Structure formats: C-alpha cells, structure tokens
Amino acid sequence: MTAEAQQASVFQGGFADPVFNGQTVFRQVMNALARPGMEAAFEGLTEPPAPLLATVGSIAATLFDHDTKIWLDPVLARDEAVAGWLTFNTSAPITRQTLDADFAVVADSTAMASLESFSQGTQEYPDRSTTLIIQIEALQGGPALKLTGPGIEDAASIAPKGLPDHFIDQWEGNRSRFPRGVDVILASADGIVGLPRTVKIETGS
C-alpha cells in the first residue's frame, strides 16, 4: 500500500449511519454475550484496513471511545493504517500494556498472549477486566465444543476454526476466577460468537 493510499484508508470505511449502525451492532454484541453460542452477524457496516475484519471494525466503532484503552496484538499494532483507522473512528487511546486494556484486539490467534495476562478485574469491580476480541478463520469448521452455563438452555454447540492453542485449558482457569476473569468475543468475517466468563466450554458436541 502506498503512503497516499494508507493515509486515505485511515479516514474511510466508517459507519455510513453512525447512530443506526451503532445501535444495530450494540444489540447484536449484547445478544451474543447474553446467549453464548449464538452467532450474530452484521457484516458490511464498516470497511477498515486489513487485517482488521469488518465485523471487528464495527464493534470498535460501537464500543470504543476516548475513555476506553485498547491493546492491539503485534500484527495490528505495527500496521499504521489499522491504528490510524481505530484512532480516527473511535478516539480510543492505544496502550502497550495488556493489564491496562479495557479491550484487546487479536488478529493472530496462534500467537495470542495468555488470557491471564490481561486485566482480570477485582472481586469488588469485576467489570474492570479486559474484553478480548479474537479474530478467527471461521465460526464453523473447527473442532466441536459444548457450551453450558447462564444464558444457555441445556447446552449449545459451536465449532470455531482458528482458536488459539490451549484456549480450552486457559478458559477453564479463566472461568474458575469468577467473578474475575475476561470475556471473549470470537469474530470472523461472517459474524461473532460471545463467550462470557460464566460459560463452561468442553470439547465434543
């Protein structure tokens, strides 16, 4: 990408209708976290620079603001167009410290930092933890996982493709720290799945 094209991409690709689009994405994100395992889709609302997915760009344009600190994994942090797009469209400050982040965005799940390296919140203020947005290859086509817990009637099945290695083991530790712990949004080009810290994840459908 030329310097001119890179600069132009910073100022383009935001919401066409910020109020309506933002409300739509907010409802879908909240529904996904309230109903773990349910796929939510809102593709096409933003067009951020690659490798940031449009779905993740839409979440960022909705949830990030000047009061939220965001951490970007190395793939995103070294991309000036991505960092510039996020700053222009959200005004959110970028931090290099995982423990300071309100939101963390991960493009390379294979090299993702451990869940416990992000802010876990406190017993008194568990909401001060980091919410991770992890870009994956697809919401289907991977190993089958069984979800149980609040917001799920009996059980739900998902099969995300591209989860980090040892994610299930790390998730068990994350869940055991309740009410502390991180919440996760899995995002592909087609949509998202919410994984609140309360959900239990087991291998097999």
pLDDT digits (tens, 9 = 90+) for 99-152: 999 999 999 998 999 999 999 999 999 999 999 999 999 999 999 999 999 999
Tokens 């609040």 label which residue?
150
Please indicate, yes or no, if residue 86 is contained in any of the structural domains. Answer: yes
pLDDT band, very low/low/confident/very high, at 182 (cuts 50, 70, 90): very high
Please indicate, yes or no, if residue 205 is contained in any of the structural domains. Answer: no
Enter the tokens of residue 58: 């839409």
pLDDT at 137: 97
Domain count, the chain: 1
* % of the chain with per-residue pLDDT over 70: 94
Alpha helices in the chain (DSSP H): 3-10, 18-34, 54-63, 74-77, 80-90, 167-176
* Domain range for 57: 3-198
Q: Average pLDDT over the chain, rounded to whole? A: 93
Query: From the DSSP assignment, how many helices (H) and strands (E) are in the chain?
Result: 6, 8
pLDDT band, very low/low/confident/very high, at 3 (cuts 50, 70, 90): very low
Please indicate, yes or no, if residue 41 is contained in any of the structural domains. Answer: yes
pLDDT band, very low/low/confident/very high, at 1 (cuts 50, 70, 90): low
Please indicate, yes or no, if residue 204 is contained in any of the structural domains. Answer: no
Please indicate, yes or no, if residue 36 is contained in any of the structural domains. Answer: yes
Please indicate, yes or no, if residue 157 is contained in any of the structural domains. Answer: yes
Please indicate, yes or no, if residue 203 is contained in any of the structural domains. Answer: no
State the average pLDDT over residues 44-70.
95
pLDDT band, very low/low/confident/very high, at 2 (cuts 50, 70, 90): low
Strand partners, 145: 158, 203
Higher pLDDT, 12 or 145: 145
Can you tell me the distance from the alpha carbon of 144 to that of 167, in angstroms, rounded to the nearest whole number?
Answer: 13
State the average pLDDT over residues 148-174.
95
Tokens 């933890």 label which residue?
129
pLDDT at 94: 97
Please indicate, yes or no, if residue 81 is contained in any of the structural domains. Answer: yes
* Domain at 141, CATH number: 3.40.50.11310
pLDDT at 5: 47
pLDDT at 98: 97
Whether the predicted pLDDT of 171 surpasses 80: yes
pLDDT at 155: 96
State the average pLDDT over residues 154-179.
95
pLDDT at 204: 80
168 burial type by CB count under 10 A (0-12 exposed, 13-18 middle, 19+ buried): middle
State the average pLDDT over residues 34-55.
92
